[in-house]
Every structure is written in structure tokens, then in C-alpha cells.
Structure 1
Amino acid sequence: MDFSLDAETEALRQRLRAFITDTVLPLEADPENCNEYEHVKLAVRDRIRKDARAIGIWTPQVSEDWGGMGLPMVAQAALYEEANRSLFGPVMINAAAPDDGNLRLLDTVARPDQKEKWLKPIVAGEVSSSFVMTEPHPGGGSDPGMMLTRAERHGDTWKVFGRKWFISGADIADHFILIARTDPDETNTRKHLTAFLYHRDQPGWRVVRRIENMGPDEHGGVCELEFDGLEIPDENRLMEIGDGLKVTQIRLGPARLTHCMRWLGLAKRCMEIAQDYASYRESFGVRLADRESVQLKLGEVAHDIAIGRLLVMHAAWKLDQGDRARKEISMAKIAVADTLHKAADVAIQINGGRGYSTDTPLEWIYRYARCARLVDGASEVHRMVLARAYAEEGDDFWQWG
């Protein structure tokens, strides 16, 4: 693949960079712009989103027919990285989790009538969405074969019973994509799940709690949900009965990669802050930037970010070729999650007490970075994926084609 960006993508990237620099980054300096969960207030978000639309960068992942930009994954990689130079950048262009993955999924697999009802309002920024899959023990987490939440069919209606938790965005979402078990006796765990669409206003379910955590929280937090007879019409089933696992694979693969794209932007922001401080801060008559120990730290993180970018772009390119890029995404996920945490840690160390304080966003990024090794599959799970791929492929694991 050619790692240079075409002229159109580069122009978009430069336009987005200017927007983030001039419009979004200044928001971080005023605590009044943030809600109690350390994210940008929805009213501020909605105001700035109008500016994003005005510059023509809005919903990059959705096809043009449904109101998006229809960009390939390689172009999205460049833009998502640029957007997340700011803590608030991705949400301003409708490219933040969990909406990002839900938009992509609905655009890919929903029927036209379902897109009209469930996709278009998210594209328009009128509603938020949530993907409802993970369950508390002994239910399904990284292993969906363990899923216990069940959907029982009664004619043209399904009734849902069960419990979910760590459901991103659920506290403010209006549109939900739910994965539930539809054949409790099915021994083939690849066909025992089905996906459904439901609205916040439907009875038979509730948000039990918004789970407190290290934060900062995405809009809507991570929540525990209870289902006690939620009724979903069969017309709101997504894909076919038994296709629930396929739905999760279609959604989660690219979503893991777009996480990595955004995390690279945050890692680069850490480097910017560290490099800037090291350039003027002196101790014992020597600038930090002139100390070999500091240079080694910055050089190592720069090296790791470059590796992460190559892994992300390779996986994005393979997705654009129609490949599932399963092992490539796992490699990127492991490497970039580690790199983000290292970048934040090194930047805090170089900034000293300033980095540990809230005078910079480094402590925000550091806390956020810790979840990177957990979300969308823990790093250990992705290493298992790679080990299995190597066991099956042998030397072909590294094939050039």
C-alpha cells in the first residue's frame, strides 16, 4: 500500500486540523465547558457541531446516500487521529464511540426502512445511540458464547429478559442495538444470538445505574441495564435470526480500529505538551530538552506512535480491500493501547507536578488511557487471537499478499 494521503484526504486533514486548533482546543481551557463527568457539555457540543458541518467534515464513516462523507477507512484513519488532538474532537464531527461503531453497523447491514428510522437521526446528530452486549458474570463479555440475556418470541414480538453492564452511552442514548440469546438450546454458539433495535421510551427495561469509574466518561457513561419483558417487534430485528454474532463481528472489528485511530491523536497530543514544556523548562542550568534522559523518553514514544500508525493504516487498508483484517486489527489494538498509556505517562513525568495537576489535560488522558487495554476486548484476548492465527497459518502469518 501507499502510505501517502491523496490530495483530497490531505486537504480534509488540514481543514480539520485548523478547526481543532482554532475552535475545539480552546474549549478545554474553560472548566465551564465541561459537565460533571469531565466531558464537553452537550449544549457546547451541539453548538460546535454546526461549525463542523459548515467546514464539510461530518460523519465521515457513513455513506453519502445517508448523510455522511462515505470515506474509506484509510482516510478515516487520518481524520480521526487529527480530530483527537483535542479531548473533544471526535464527538464534534460525529466520530466518537459508541455512535461511531453504531453508525457504521447500521449503514452496513440495516434495511432501507430501518436506516430511515434508526440511522438518519444519529447521522443528523438528533439522537445518541448505544450498543448493548456485555453482561456481568456469569454472562457474556469477550466471549459472546456465554451470553445469558434472552429474547423470547411471541408471534411477531420478542420479549427480552436479562441484565447488561458497562454499556457505553446508555444514560443519554435514544437508539439501542441489543444482542440477545434467541435459541437457548442451540449448541452451535455461532447461531444462538440475534440483534434487535429498540428506543429509550419503550417499557420493560431500565438503567439500573451509571457505573462510577476512574473517568473521564464519554457522553452517557457506562451503565448497567435490566430487561424485564421489553417488547420488540420482529420488524426491528437487525439481520436474520441467529446472526447476532455476525452483527457483533461486523461492528466491533472496525470499531476497535477507530479507537486506535483516535488514541494515536491523544498520544501525539501528549507528545506536543511534553516537547513544548521540555523546550523551555530548565533545571540546574540545562533545558530538559537538552538532557539525554528526556530525549530518550521522547524518542521512544515517537517510535511507538510511528509503529502504531503503520499497524492502523495497514489494517485500515485491508478493510478497504474487503478483508476482515482480524489479526491486523488485534495487533493494532494491542500496540496502540500500550502506546497511549506510555505517551501519557512519559508526558506526565517530563512535566512533573504540572503534568500530575489539572493545569494540562495529561492527567485526564492518563486516566482515560487505562481503559484502552480493556475496551473492545482486553489485550490478552487479542493476543489469544494472534496466537490462534499463528497456530493455523504458520509462516503464512506474515505473508506479503
Structure 2
Amino acid sequence: MRAPNEQACKEKELTERVSAFVRTHVMPHEPVLDAGGPAAAAALRKLQAGAKEAGLWALPLPEELGGQGLDLARYARLAEAEGASDHGPAALGSAPLLDATMLWRHGADRVRTLYPHRLTSGELRACYAMTDPETPGTDPYLTATRAVERADGGWTVSGRKWFTSHAAEADLVTVLARTDGQPGDRTGLSLLVVPTSAPGFRVVRELPVLGGAGQWEIEFDRVHVDADHLLGERGRALAIAAERLQLGRTLRCLRWLGQAQRAFDLMCERVNSRTGSRGPLGSHQLVQSHVFESLLALRTTRPLVHEAVAAIGAGRDAHVEVGLAKVAAARMLQQVTDAAIQIHGAAGLGPDTPLPALYRTGRTARILDGPDELHITGVARRVLRGYGT
């Protein structure tokens, strides 16, 4: 076992390597990657090959799946460095963590054989489809997408999902569907793994989010799914989804910290490099206030996120910690990026900095993956129960 100081040095070195890879290789390709299409796919493949060659591939994925097996506590700092670019996790092979581990833990033998290793290697890509159009994502019990059991034990899936990330490039989609009961029932929801090559699966349209790409609406038109592609037990989807959501939200919070740090660095560089007729930009008190408030937001949010990391890593109920972290990190990213845009002036609105994309991420973070209101009320109810008689 390495001495603590040696271990800390190793982890610091690894974090610096990840940060350097994202900064020097991923960030310059962001305009191409943001645009999507064949050019983006080719650029991503090249970046992934570079990450593998550098020994930075799939750091948090389990070793039995071909990853490097870093636990959440050790991966947390790396996740900030990776997440400084929205494309960092995909380029470094961390993006499949949720899907690969979900299929490995809850899939039947055939699913475990076919998919998790290939997701880890980058051969396959997966997405997760939960929300029906016009149905609140905060209320999965209203799910109307249905899976009907066939005589051979398989399933026929029909329905639509939207705001499904990266669906157009995915080889697999895990879909939340009603296998029993009616919309509104608090039971009867299951998860099924559907190859996107299956007849009847269709990408309906892209859903630009504040002008940004990556979200899609998809359709299942009587898609046949094999019986062994049901995840876990029939009707037990929400237990699996909750496990996935807690880890997923925490990972996103870590990545938002990385993006906010990037915006903060850009702001400070701008402050130090600009001089107007009234002197250096940094000499103005209102500019100093932006710097102070942004640093305060970053420094006070980071411990909340790492409390969520510690709770999940220890296997504790982390609903309160994750809810606090999610709301704080989303607000913080929007606040820091907004301040950076203000300091840049008109330049912060245009295509020459990543600030518009970072701001878009911060604003959408307060709605997607659970709106602020959901987490606020959920945390408050749990806290208040502890004061009940």
C-alpha cells in the first residue's frame, strides 16, 4: 500500500494529466463536437484514441468491464477536470459509467455479455429515455409508453420519449415503460434495453436546448424486445432509476464545478488583461465584486458536492446531500458564467469564447435532471420529517 503522501502525489499528477488533456485536446475541438454529425463523430473517435494511448481511458469504470476501477471518492476530483468541457467525459471514456454499471448490475446474463464491456471500450454508445412528451419528468408515474408481454415472453414497446440525450448516436436505449396498470398508478413501471437498430425505433427530431444540440425525441412503434432485455424485476424500474439518478446527478454537479472554474478563470484573465480609459478593469469595485461573489459561490458549493460524493460512496441515504448539491451547483454555474459574460461585455455573447455554451448548461441544469423546485421541496420534506413527533 502506498504511503498517504505518495498516493496524494499520484492523484494530483493524474488530475493534472486529465486537465491538460481536456484543455489541449478536447477544448480546441468543441466547435466541431458541438455541431454534431459525421465530423463530430470522427473528432470524438480521434480524441478517444488519444485518451486510450495516454492511459486516461475509462478511469471510473469497473475493472471487470475493462475500466481502471477508480472509486467515486478518487474519481471526484478528476470529474471536475473532465467536466470543464461538456465533451470531456465522452472523450475520456467516462460517459458510459451510468449505463454500463446499470446493465452490469441489473441485466440478465445475455445483456451482461452483450453490452457493458462494449460500452466501456467505446464500441457502443447508450442513452436513457425516461420522460414522455407533455408528461412532467418529475412524475414518472404518468408514463404512458407501454410494453406489452408477447406470447414468447418478449415485449412489444410503443410510445414516445423526449429530451433523450445523444439518442441519435446511440446503439442502445434503456426505456422506462409501463408493463402493468394505467398512467398514474404507482406501480407497474419497468426498464427495458432496446437496440436502436430494432425495427420500429425512430429518431423523430432534434430538440435544440437554448440553441444547443444533443437532445432528441424518439419513437417506439411496436418495437419487439427480447424477454431477457428486461432490467431487474418487472415493475421495479424506479428502484433502479433512483440508484442511477443519485450517482448521475452527483457526477453532473462535479462536472458543473469544472465548468464554473473554467468560466471563473476566463473572467479573471479578462480582468487582468483589459485596461480602459479609466484604468485597469480590475481596479473597479463592481468588477471586484463579481470576482468575489463568483469565488464565494464556487468555494461554498464544492463542499456540498463532495458531501454528496461521500454519502453515496459510503452507501448512505444521500437524498438530502444530492438535492442540496444539485440545486447549489446548477445555480452556481449559472451565476459564475453570468458574471464572466458581464465582465467580457459583448465579447462574452459571441462565438469567440465558450461562455455562451457554459451559460446554456447552467441555465438548463436548473430544469433538466430535476428542476430546482423538485429538489427544494424533496429536501425540505425529508428534513422536516426529522422534527416530527
Alignment TM-score > 0.5, same fold: yes
> Residues 141 and 183 of structure 2 are in contact (CA less than 8 Å); yes or no, is this contact kept in structure 1?
no
Partner of 1:154: 150
Partner of 2:173: 176
> Residues 177 and 198 of structure 1 are in contact (CA less than 8 Å); yes or no, is this contact kept in structure 2?
yes
> Residues 100 and 255 of structure 1 are in contact (CA less than 8 Å); yes or no, is this contact kept in structure 2?
no
Alpha-carbon offset, residue 183 of structure 1: 1.0
Q: Which runs of 5+ in 1 are unaligned?
A: 396-401
Q: What is the total number of aligned residue pairs between the two structures?
A: 383
Cα deviations by residue, 1:345-376 (Å, 9 ceiling, x for unpaired): 10010011111121111112112221110111
Distance 1:382 1:324 in 2: 15
- Is 1:69 aligned to 2:65, yes or no? no
Letter matched to residue 202 of structure 1: A
Partner of 2:356: 363
Alpha-carbon offset, residue 377 of structure 1: 0.5
Partner of 1:216: 212
Partner of 1:394, secondary structure, is: coil
> Residues 201 and 218 of structure 2 are in contact (CA less than 8 Å); yes or no, is this contact kept in structure 1?
yes
Q: 1:289 to 1:187 in 2, by over 3 A?
A: closer
> Residues 107 and 230 of structure 2 are in contact (CA less than 8 Å); yes or no, is this contact kept in structure 1?
no
> Residues 215 and 368 of structure 1 are in contact (CA less than 8 Å); yes or no, is this contact kept in structure 2?
no
- Is 1:130 aligned to 2:123, yes or no? no
Partner of 1:92: 91
- Is 1:12 aligned to 2:8, yes or no? no
Alpha-carbon offset, residue 120 of structure 1: 1.6
Residue in structure 2 matching 1:193, options 189, 194, 201:
189
Q: 1:224 to 1:118 in 2, by over 3 A?
A: same
Distance 1:324 1:233 in 2: 34
Is 104-113 or 144-153 further displaced after alignment? 104-113
| 1:341-356 matched pairs, under 5 angstroms | 341-356=334-349
| 1:319-334 matched pairs, under 5 angstroms | 319-334=312-327
Partner of 2:294: 301
Q: Which runs of 5+ in 2 are unaligned?
A: none
> Residues 40 and 88 of structure 1 are in contact (CA less than 8 Å); yes or no, is this contact kept in structure 2?
no
Distance 1:35 1:333 in 2: 24
- Is 1:57 aligned to 2:56, yes or no? yes
Distance 2:51 2:100 in 1: 18
Alpha-carbon offset, residue 310 of structure 1: 0.6
- Is 1:142 aligned to 2:141, yes or no? no
- Is 1:339 aligned to 2:332, yes or no? yes
Distance 1:169 1:26 in 2: 21
Alpha-carbon offset, residue 38 of structure 1: 10
Q: 1:140 to 1:147 in 2, by over 3 A?
A: farther
Cα deviations by residue, 1:323-359 (Å, 9 ceiling, x for unpaired): 2411111100000000111111100100111111211
> Residues 101 and 116 of structure 2 are in contact (CA less than 8 Å); yes or no, is this contact kept in structure 1?
no
Partner of 2:167, secondary structure, is: coil
- Is 1:317 aligned to 2:310, yes or no? yes
Partner of 1:50, secondary structure, is: helix
Residue in structure 2 matching 1:114, options 99, 111, 116:
111
Distance 1:320 1:372 in 2: 23
Partner of 1:373: 366
Letter matched to residue 250 of structure 2: L
Distance 2:243 2:97 in 1: 13
> Residues 58 and 93 of structure 1 are in contact (CA less than 8 Å); yes or no, is this contact kept in structure 2?
yes
Partner of 1:393: 386
Letter matched to residue 177 of structure 2: A
Q: 1:246 to 1:39 in 2, by over 3 A?
A: farther
Partner of 1:202: 198
Partner of 1:398: none
Distance 1:375 1:213 in 2: 10
Partner of 1:304, secondary structure, is: helix
Alpha-carbon offset, residue 20 of structure 1: 2.2
Distance 1:64 1:111 in 2: 20
Letter matched to residue 23 of structure 2: T
- How big is the alpha-carbon RMSD for the aligned residues of Structure 1 and Structure 2? 2.3
Q: 1:24 to 1:188 in 2, by over 3 A?
A: closer
> Residues 62 and 69 of structure 1 are in contact (CA less than 8 Å); yes or no, is this contact kept in structure 2?
yes
Is 298-307 or 53-62 further displaced after alignment? 53-62
